């Protein structure tokens, strides 16, 4: 087989192959995107999103943290955004206590944010989060 | 009496493996022991490399009669009746039927599908483009293999190594160039095991520190309905466009439907555990057994195997590079919202390639968490490499 023949065959296979692979996967992008759009619309995303947002409990640090007593800077517990403030404060105290017991000291740690995990998380997300925690601790 | 005894001993010795042992057998035994060492000591894809290496060892023990790869190479019209009636038909020959007939790789894909969560891909469909981009290297390698003197079919089988998907590489090779199955399977699985070594330098070379530090937005939750419809849609679309990819993609999606439907827990459980383990065992041992000293003795086979190893590395590197390149392009298009490192995960090798993206990203920015984002291109790469295999089989005349 001459060099020219080899180049012709290679070019043909490469061109057709790349075009077909991209064509198929781009078609899938379109189909999955369209379906995802309808799925989101059908499930009433807006309402659900609002509920999830309400369920999130944020304990914001930042500027508010700086305003609070410097001596208590390790355990700053700031504004709760819903009615069960006392319960949430208790939750933070429990988490802080657990950290203290595990690490032996409170120095260097402060709780800046607590956010409820989504209950419909996938197993991949759960595995990833566990691994992340493992590497961080 | 003494003479009879001595003659018996000599006769026994002549029938032993020692008298039939050649230097090539010793070389192959040493190579198989080296792979066993890699699998056990360094855990290089041990689930496959260990049975492959031991299959290779068994096939190179003279007179064991477990496997006859040279006979398989010369069978063009499968005449099983003649084979079964001959005395040269061993245990591994029987197991090899599953490879020869293209049964094992799709069954492995069934298990892979049952283990795979396509959620990250459905949540971010654009990552499919990265799964396609990482297949470009396959076609570059095809060109390289042709230039090195391989036939079209051989070049196609070698090029698919770049897809970093063992079952796909085996499936394609059995269709296009079954005589090269041993070295191609070994190269494919070795390079998959070396993903954490091969990919990071390429990824770092092609990206800036700023790009590697990009934190991506959290993926949206995916509904159960989407997850159930996804395998059906993919099976239909891919099979209609590339029918030759149907055995792989069809079984992949069937396994995934088992998982996501939630109504066949037993089938899903069996597919992702018992079945895939049994098939992996049969596949590994019989594929390893194709790398025998008899084949190495064939003129030019050693040189071919060496070229395959080099081309496999080339394919892998190019696929990684094109994946990252398209990651960069997506990053520009999205206004800096895509970390290009997830592009390298498009080479399949699930989930190792995604973990490499995560690791390299976290080295640049310890607070970065790319694993889930990289899983999208990673599973897209499985679909992409199966499609590329279908294209090669279709164009290069595989049966």
Task: Give me the phi and psi of B162, to 5 degrees please.
Answer: -60, -20
Sign of the Cα torsion B350, B282, B295, B50 reads positive
Instruction: Round to whole Å and give the CA distance between B187 and B157.
Output: 12
- Only one residue has tokens 């410097």, namely A70
Q: Which of A29-38, B26-35, B279-288 has the lowest mean pLDDT?
A: A29-38
Instruction: Round to whole Å and give the CA distance between A73 and A94.
Output: 17
Task: Say whether B391 and A36 touch across the interface (CB within 8 A).
Answer: no
The string of pLDDT tens digits covering residues B283-328 is: 999 988 888 887 777 788 888 888 999 999 999 999 999 999 999 9
Instruction: Round to whole Å and give the CA distance between B278 and B51.
Output: 11
By percentage, how much of chain B surpasses pLDDT 70? Answer: 95
Whether the per-residue pLDDT at A48 is higher than 70: the answer is no
What average pLDDT score do residues B74-78 get? 62
Residue A118: predicted pLDDT: 62
Residue B359: predicted pLDDT: 93
A8 in reach of chain B (CB within 8 A): no
Q: CB of B38 within 8 A of CB of B44? A: yes
- Give the gap in angstroms from C-alpha A23 to the nearest C-alpha of chain B: 9
Residue B86: predicted pLDDT: 66
Closest CB from B155, B372, B387 relative to A124: B372
Q: CB of B99 within 8 A of CB of B173? A: no
The string of pLDDT tens digits covering residues B246-275 is: 999 999 999 999 999 999 999 999 999 999
CA distances from A113 to A77, A92, A96, B366, B378 (A): 9, 10, 12, 18, 32
Instruction: Round to whole Å and give the CA distance between A68 and B31.
Output: 68
Whether the per-residue pLDDT at B78 is higher than 70: the answer is no
Instruction: Round to whole Å and give the CA distance between B288 and B2.
Output: 44
Tokens at B388, concatenated: 């590329």
The string of pLDDT tens digits covering residues B38-68 is: 889 988 878 888 999 999 999 888 888 788 7
Tokens at B35, concatenated: 């792979």
- Give the gap in angstroms from C-alpha B255 to the nearest C-alpha of chain A: 17
Which residues neighbour B261 within 8 Å (Cβ) at sequence distance 6 or greater? B228
Task: Say whether B142 and A21 touch across the interface (CB within 8 A).
Answer: no
Annotate B44-61 with DSSP letters as a single string. Answer: SSHHHHHHHHHHHHHHTS
Whether the per-residue pLDDT at A113 is higher than 80: the answer is no
- Only one residue has tokens 């897209």, namely B380
Whether the per-residue pLDDT at B194 is higher than 60: the answer is yes
Specify the pTM: 0.75
The string of pLDDT tens digits covering residues B321-349 is: 999 999 999 999 999 999 999 999 999 88
Q: CB of B131 within 8 A of CB of B327? A: no
Residue B368: predicted pLDDT: 87
Residue B291: predicted pLDDT: 83
pLDDT band at B157 (very low <50, low <70, confident <90, very high): very high
**Other CB atoms closer than 10 Å to residue B302's CB: what's the count?**
15
A54: left (phi over 0), alpha (psi -120 to 50) or beta: alpha
Better pLDDT: B15 or B183: B183
State the average pLDDT for chain B.
Answer: 89
By percentage, how much of chain A surpasses pLDDT 70? Answer: 52
Task: Say whether A17 and B146 touch across the interface (CB within 8 A).
Answer: no
Task: Say whether A6 and B126 touch across the interface (CB within 8 A).
Answer: no
Q: CB of B353 within 8 A of CB of B378? A: yes
Task: Say whether B233 and A28 touch across the interface (CB within 8 A).
Answer: yes
Tokens at A115, concatenated: 């956010």
Count A/B contacts: CB-CB distance under 8 Å.
119
A38 in reach of chain B (CB within 8 A): no
The string of pLDDT tens digits covering residues A63-97 is: 343 444 434 444 443 443 444 555 667 777 788 77
Task: Say whether B229 and A35 touch across the interface (CB within 8 A).
Answer: yes
The string of pLDDT tens digits covering residues B111-152 is: 999 999 999 999 999 999 999 999 999 999 999 999 999 999
Closest CB from B121, B132, B225 relative to A21: B132
pLDDT band at B159 (very low <50, low <70, confident <90, very high): very high
Task: Say whether B125 and A28 touch across the interface (CB within 8 A).
Answer: yes
A137 in reach of chain B (CB within 8 A): no
Whether the per-residue pLDDT at A45 is higher than 70: the answer is no
Residue B82: predicted pLDDT: 67
Better pLDDT: B290 or B74: B290
Residue B44: predicted pLDDT: 81
pLDDT band at B81 (very low <50, low <70, confident <90, very high): low
Q: CB of B173 within 8 A of CB of B312? A: no
Q: CB of B182 within 8 A of CB of B155? A: no
Tokens at A92, concatenated: 């933070």
Whether the per-residue pLDDT at B200 is higher than 60: the answer is yes
Tokens at A81, concatenated: 């955004």
Residue B69: predicted pLDDT: 75
Q: Which of A129-133, B48-52, B158-162 has the lowest mean pLDDT?
A: A129-133
């Amino acid at each position: 087989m001459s060099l020219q023949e080899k180049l012709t065959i290679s070019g043909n296979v490469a061109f057709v192959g790349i075009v077909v692979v991209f064509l198929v996967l781009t078609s899938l992008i379109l189909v999955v995107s369209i379906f995802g759009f309808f799925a989101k619309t059908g499930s009433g995303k807006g309402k659900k999103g609002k509920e999830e947002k309400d369920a999130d409990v944020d304990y914001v640090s930042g500027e508010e943290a700086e305003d609070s007593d410097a001596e208590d800077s390790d355990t700053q517990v700031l504004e709760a955004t819903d009615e069960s403030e006392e319960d949430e404060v208790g939750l933070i105290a429990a988490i802080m206590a657990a950290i203290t017991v595990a690490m032996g000291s409170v120095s260097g740690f402060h709780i800046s944010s607590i956010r409820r995990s989504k209950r419909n998380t996938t197993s991949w997300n759960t595995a990833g989060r566990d691994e992340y925690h493992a590497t961080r601790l | 009496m003494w003479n009879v005894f001595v003659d018996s001993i000599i006769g026994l010795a002549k029938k032993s493996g020692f008298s039939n042992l050649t230097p090539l057998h010793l070389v192959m035994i040493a190579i198989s022991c080296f792979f066993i060492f890699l699998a056990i000591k360094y855990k290089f894809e041990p689930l496959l490399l260990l049975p492959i290496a031991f299959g290779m060892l068994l096939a190179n023990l003279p007179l064991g009669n477990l496997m006859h790869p040279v006979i398989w190479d010369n069978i063009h019209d499968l005449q099983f009746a003649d084979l079964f009636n001959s005395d040269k038909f061993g245990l591994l020959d029987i197991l090899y039927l599953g490879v020869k007939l293209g049964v094992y790789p799709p069954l492995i894909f069934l298990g892979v599908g049952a283990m795979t969560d396509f959620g990250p891909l459905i949540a971010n469909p654009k990552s499919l483009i990265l799964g396609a981009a990482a297949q470009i290297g396959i076609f570059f390698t095809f060109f390289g293999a042709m230039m090195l003197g391989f036939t079209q079919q051989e070049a196609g089988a070698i090029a698919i190594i770049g897809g970093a998907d063992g079952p796909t590489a085996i499936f394609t090779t059995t269709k296009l160039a079954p005589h090269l199955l041993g070295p191609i399977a070994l190269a494919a699985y070795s390079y998959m095991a070396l993903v954490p070594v091969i990919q990071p330098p390429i990824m770092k070379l092609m990206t800036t520190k700023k790009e590697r530090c990009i934190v991506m937005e959290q993926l949206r939750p995916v509904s159960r309905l989407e997850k159930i419809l996804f395998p059906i849609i993919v099976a239909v679309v891919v099979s209609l466009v590339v029918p030759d990819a149907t055995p792989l993609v069809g079984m992949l999606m069937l396994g995934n439907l088992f998982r996501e439907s939630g109504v066949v827990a037993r089938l899903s459980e069996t597919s992702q555990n018992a079945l895939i383990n049994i098939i992996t065992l049969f596949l590994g041992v019989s594929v390893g057994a194709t790398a025998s000293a008899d084949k190495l003795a064939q003129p030019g086979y050693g040189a071919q195997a060496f070229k395959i190893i080099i081309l496999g590395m080339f394919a892998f590197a190019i696929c990684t590079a094109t994946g990252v390149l398209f990651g960069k392009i997506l990053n520009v298009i999205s206004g800096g919202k895509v970390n290009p490192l997830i592009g390298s995960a498009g080479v399949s090798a699930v989930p190792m390639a995604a973990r490499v993206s995560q690791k390299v990203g976290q080295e640049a920015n310890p607070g970065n968490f790319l694993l889930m984002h990289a899983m999208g291109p990673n599973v897209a790469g499985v679909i992409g490499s199966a499609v590329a295999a279908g294209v090669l089989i279709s164009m290069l005349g595989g049966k």
